[in-house]
Amino acid sequence: MIAIAPALILKLQQLPPQRLAEVEDFVEFLAAREMRSAAGIRLGESLAKLDALNLPPLSDDEINAEIQAARQERAAQRT
């Protein structure tokens, strides 16, 4: 993590509580946006790897079977 510039810290310390809360919300928004961006990149990389395997597409029955298996596994974990 990078060091926060002392000038920025000083400016933050001079803000009233309401504005400081807005800054915090904005920082959380930026962090969430970075996480979504990183997740999108990872998804794209995963899809490229999957595409490179040249596997035939799953049938509707195979997809439904996978969904049911995942649901059963989650239900078993809850009990």
71, pLDDT greater than 80: yes
- pLDDT given for residue 62 in this prediction: 97
Retrieve residue 77's tokens: 């974990």
Residue 39 inside a domain? The answer is yes
The mean pLDDT of the chain is: 95
Q: Provide the number of structural domains found in the chain.
A: 1
- pLDDT given for residue 1 in this prediction: 59
Residue 22 inside a domain? The answer is yes
List the domain range (segments joined by +) for residue 35: 6-78
**Residue 72 CB neighbours (<10 A):** 10
- Type of residue found at 29: F
- Angle at CA of residue 71, ends 66 and 77, nearest 5°: 130
Residue 1 inside a domain? The answer is no
Average pLDDT over residues 69-79: 94
